[in-house]
């Protein structure tokens, strides 16, 4: 993909596909649809976005600081993986289960 498209285009594509997938996920309540459509799309878009962000981030940092910068990026990615479900659970607790699609 990177041979044909620029990093910026791949990143925009990943964000667009993720947003479209979120809208699609909110518009149905079928477990099969989630399992066979939303989950694979989310995995591919997330991988594209994460990899492209790492590449872009590594180009913006001087070579001497590369290890520290990429480790900070990895820590932030891990922190988001912990904080996002907690935030979602708190939000769901405030809005109630009836607010889910």
Cβ-contact 45, 21 below 8 angstroms: yes
Distance CA(45)–CA(35), nearest Å, equals: 15
Backbone angles phi, psi at 66, to 5 degrees: -60, -50
Cβ-contact 41, 21 below 8 angstroms: yes
What's the alpha-carbon Rg for the chain, to the nearest Å? 17
Cβ-contact 54, 89 below 8 angstroms: no
- pLDDT tens, 40-83? 999 999 888 888 888 888 888 898 998 898 899 889 989 998 99
Determine the pLDDT at residue 53. Answer: 84
- pLDDT tens, 1-51? 778 888 889 888 889 998 998 888 888 878 888 889 999 999 999 888 888
């Amino acid at each position: 993909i990177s041979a044909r498209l620029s990093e910026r285009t791949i990143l925009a594509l990943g964000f667009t596909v993720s947003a479209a997938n979120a809208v699609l996920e909110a518009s149905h309540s079928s477990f099969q649809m989630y399992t066979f459509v939303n989950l694979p799309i989310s995995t591919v878009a997330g991988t594209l976005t994460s990899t492209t962000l790492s590449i872009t981030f590594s180009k913006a940092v001087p070579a001497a600081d590369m290890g520290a910068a990429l480790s900070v990026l990895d820590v932030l990615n891990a922190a988001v993986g912990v904080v996002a479900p907690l935030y979602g659970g708190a939000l769901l607790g405030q809005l109630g289960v009836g607010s889910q699609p």
